[in-house]
A and B are shown apart, each in its own frame.
Chain A
Amino acid sequence: MAPKEVLKDRSMLLQKEMLAKHFARLEKAPENHEPVVYTFVPGNLTELIRSFGALPVLPEINALQSGMRKLSGDYIAEAERAGHSEDVCAYVKCDIGMAKSGNISPAGTKLPKPDLLLLSYTGCYTFMKWFELLREEYDCPTVFFHVPYQGDGRLEPEHREYMIRQLREEVIPALERVTGRAYDEERLRENLARAARTEEDLSAVLQSAKHKPSPIDGYFGTVYYVGPIFSAFRGTEEGAEYYRTLREEVEARVAAGLGPIVPDGSLDEQRYRLVVEGPPSWTHFRDFWKMFTDEKAVVVASTYTKVGGTYDFGFRHDPSDPLGTMADYCSGCYTNLNLPSRVEMISRYIREYEADGFVINSIKSCNSFSAGQLMILREVEKRTGVPGAFIESDLVDPRYFSNANIKNRLESYFQMIESRRQGASAATHVAPIVAGAA
């Protein structure tokens, strides 16, 4: 029997090519005198970094890719041998272990040392310690950008001013020092304008999941879709092209009544529409995804894919207010939202995307996401009347993924949705919520 053909969209190939080029460019950055800035996904200032001709490196992206390529277990073990606790964030340990093991990127290329650590402190306490730890590894300049947490569920005007002041007085001067270039606001505006167009395209892609069948998987598939905008390409020509292409592909699938490309082909028949809260388990990503697709479950929206920006709720970078818009962006990232706002977001997704249920993937080593998720579970169920499932795993620590446990729990959950659906059908004669065609 001939091997099954793996379906690849043009956007997938485009993304692969972009990332390969980026890592190759990073490897040659020292000899080409291109400055390198390490920063984080939530609250990333890619347009600003790029306006100085610098290249961004995202440690979380490296960690998750190491997880997907089965490298993270050894890196974590290396970090734990160096004294890091088994209790703390596995991303941090994977990154530290990778640095101690030669700093070879998941693409197999050598990663350059940072010229600057730009710590955008956006909704995750661990970021602060992560960069203190990286500073010990690299002994390079560090600039701290403090994004106040939305404790009361909104961005306060004085918090916005505080962030703008930091950008003007600390972040930009630090970038000027390490790149040797002057701040070029026109260049930044151009990047921001491109970012806004990109965000428009991504938003259309995310919202396409309101169709039935959904043409995308809003979690497993969308972590690929957000890759370029979360990593190094927001505000770039390549990024803009990628999202134009992706949008065209998704719109074509909508028109044809097709579902997304999943590990075993195209998921056109969709039995369950779900919302997912929490990051995926990267070490067992494909197995995890298949637990959903085997049951013909499609994820229509997820919160993790909003850690790098909440574009589907309308945020667009505004080139007419370059510093203010970066402050707005950072403040609105999912990690920076308080618990009631998170509950409201998930509830909205369930209502607006007509979901049958929601799944919380609770991450052992991520307190920012996980602390309070059992409360989220109850509160969302109360507000929407939709049942939730709670499973536990880890980001990139393979020791904490129990295939059988998670599979059992998900299977029971799908059976529960099914029996509720049949009960509702018997009582009210309503049609099944999800059909296989548009």
Chain B
Amino acid sequence: MRTAVVDWARELYEDLDFTAVHRWLADHPGAKAGGYLPVYVPREILHACGFLPVGIHGGGDRLEIIRGDAFYQSYICHLPRSVIELAQSGRLSMLSAVLFPSTCDVIRNLSGMWKLLYPDVYVRYIDVPQVSQPEAAVAFYETELRHLVDDLGAVSGHAPSDDDLRRSIALYNEMRGVVRELYRTRRERPWDLPTEELYLLLRAGEVVPAEEFIAQARRYLAAVDADRRRPRDNSRVVIGGAFCEQPPIGLIKSIERAGCYVVDDDFVLGTRFLTSDVPLADDPLHALAHAFVHTETRTSVLYERDPQRKRRLMQERVQAAGAEGVIFAAPSFCDPALLDQPMLRNGAEAAGLPCIAFKYSENSGQFQQFREQAGTFADSLKLWAGGPA
């Protein structure tokens, strides 16, 4: 059972032709597909407007870049060039809308490029509130979401009612609940739930209907419960910095095989950006905006109002996950991750937490150096265990 679910997920992850999306569109005449870039967009809104939400995470190490390099200088991160490669090769032509959240200047500017390259596609840059007053922040984001609902409804021909929106929110609450369950299980029994498998599941969930992901994830959790494995003497680590451009699966495997249990990470962070269920009784867009503003998620793409919280962040994550150390794994040229790293690392090291850092690209092909670094780190964590904090 476990193998069947992982194979299902791997096939979806590896398929850069988005066959599942095309199949869904063929099965749902008149329906549309809407793409979104990392890190977070409210997928409920796409769903309620009749779209299949489709996560666009680039081509990883499985795509040769031919056209994409003509759009980006060598000192821009890799993700946008592989996204452009996918688009220019026609692989994203099934998308009627693409949403670009406020993640960084590169993704923001990509929204403008999309407007110029694909004038028939609905494109929206989704700004997020960065103010300290929660009421003003909620009001701003709610208005942004109302615009989005109106526009997407016009594109799809289905303007959702409040009840439609509530049904979609309920569905994605369920999806987030399952993801939380996956993360809880991995945190408690990382030997039973390898991060490689968890990651493939999350990525599969980016291209299939929420209902299908929920069913497969539950099947997987049941299989994990039925297939108990023996713990190893691995070191427990938190990985931070990989919230936008995703690492190649080989990198995740290398870290695990080097003797690390990953017990917290920020891969595909949008799947758990909202940390609690969105209430269904309220106005649905107000509820979504409120959930965003009051989320417990702390990420480099948002302004951190509390300097103490920033310094404590990695310590809090390590404690919550029962980890022993931190691996900062950031994509090359990633402003959010790399500008944040000195602050986060200083805070972690001031709290006595061992850290290492390396940079990767989504198409990194050589993992030996990562494996050696992670292996040495895992060994040193074991040697330091019980020492002064």
Q: Which residues of A contact B (CB under 8 A)?
A: 82-85, 87-89, 92, 119, 121, 124-126, 128-130, 132-133, 135-136, 139, 144, 146, 148-149, 151-152, 158, 162, 165-166, 169-170, 338-343, 362, 364-365, 367-368, 370-375, 379, 392
Contact = CB atoms under 8 A, between A and B. Distances in A.
B76 A129 contact: no
A132 B303 contact: yes
B335 A339 contact: no
B53 interface: no
B70 A374 contact: yes
B136 A83 contact: no
A132 B304 contact: yes
A372 B112 contact: yes
Interface stretch (B189-197, B217-225, B340-348): B340-348
Given A129-B340, A133-B342, 7 more contacts: A87-B332, A151-B100, A158-B140, A166-B136, A169-B136, A368-B109, A374-B70
Contact of A339 (B116, B133, B303): B116
Contacts of A372: 71, 109-110, 112-113
A84 B342 contact: yes
B25 interface: no
Contacts of B333: 87, 367
The 6 closest A-B pairs by CB, nearest first: A339-B112, A151-B125, A129-B339, A85-B338, A372-B109, A83-B342
B342 A149 contact: no
B141 to A, nearest CB: 10
B129 interface: yes
Given A169-B136, A338-B112, A374 B73 contact: yes
A132 B335 CA distance: 13
A92 B343 CA distance: 14
Q: Specify which of A124, A339, A342 lies most central, judged by the most chain B CB atoms within 10 Å of its CB.
A: A339
Contacts of B76: 367, 370-371
Contact of A367 (B105, B133, B330): B105
Nearest to A131: B303
B305 interface: yes
Contact of B336 (A125, A158, A339): A125
Q: Specify which of B76, B126, B143, B336 lies most central, judged by the most chain A CB atoms within 10 Å of its CB.
A: B76
Nearest to A165: B136
B43 interface: no
B348 to A, nearest CB: 12
Given A126-B339, A144-B303, A151-B125, A339 B73 contact: no
A132 B105 contact: no
A343 B116 contact: yes
A367 B80 CA distance: 12
Interface string B103-118: 0111011111101110
Nearest to A169: B133
Nearest to A135: B307
B115 A339 contact: yes
Contacts of A119: 303
Contacts of B185: none
A89 B335 contact: yes
A149 B125 CA distance: 9
B4 interface: no
B124 interface: yes
Contact of A375 (B113, B129, B139, B343): B113
Contacts of A370: 73, 75-76
A124 B109 CA distance: 11
A129 B131 CA distance: 15
Interface residues of B, number: 55
Given A125-B105, A367-B105, A368-B105, A374 B335 contact: no
Contact of B339 (A92, A149, A362): A92
Contacts of A85: 330, 338-339, 341, 359
Given A374-B70, A375-B71, A375-B116, A133 B339 contact: yes
A85 B340 CA distance: 10
A126 B108 CA distance: 13
Contacts of A362: 73
B127 interface: yes
Nearest to B80: A371
Contact of B133 (A82, A170, A375): A170
Given A338-B112, A362-B73, A371 B305 contact: no
Interface string B344-377: 0110000000000001000000000000000000
B19 interface: no
A146 to B, nearest CB: 4
Contacts of A151: 100, 108, 111-112, 124-127
23 contacts: A85-B339, A121-B130, A125-B104, A125-B336, A128-B303, A129-B336, A132-B343, A136-B307, A136-B343, A151-B108, A152-B124, A158-B143, A162-B139, A162-B140, A368-B105, A368-B109, A371-B80, A371-B109, A372-B71, A372-B109, A372-B110, A374-B72, A379-B116
B295 interface: no
Q: Specify which of B127, B133, B340 lies most central, judged by the most chain A CB atoms within 10 Å of its CB.
A: B127
Nearest to B73: A362
Q: Specify which of A162, A365, A367, A370 lies most central, judged by the most chain B CB atoms within 10 Å of its CB.
A: A367
Nearest to A87: B333
Contacts of B136: 162, 165-166, 169
Given A83-B345, A128-B303, A374-B71, A144 B130 contact: yes
Contacts of B71: 372, 374-375
B110 to A, nearest CB: 7
B161 interface: no
B173 interface: no
A334 B300 CA distance: 24
A399 to B, nearest CB: 12
B75 A365 contact: yes
Q: Specify which of B108, B116, B339, B343 lies most central, judged by the most chain A CB atoms within 10 Å of its CB.
A: B339
Nearest to A79: B342
Contact of B72 (A84, A130, A364, A371): A371
B321 to A, nearest CB: 23
A342 B346 CA distance: 38
B312 interface: no
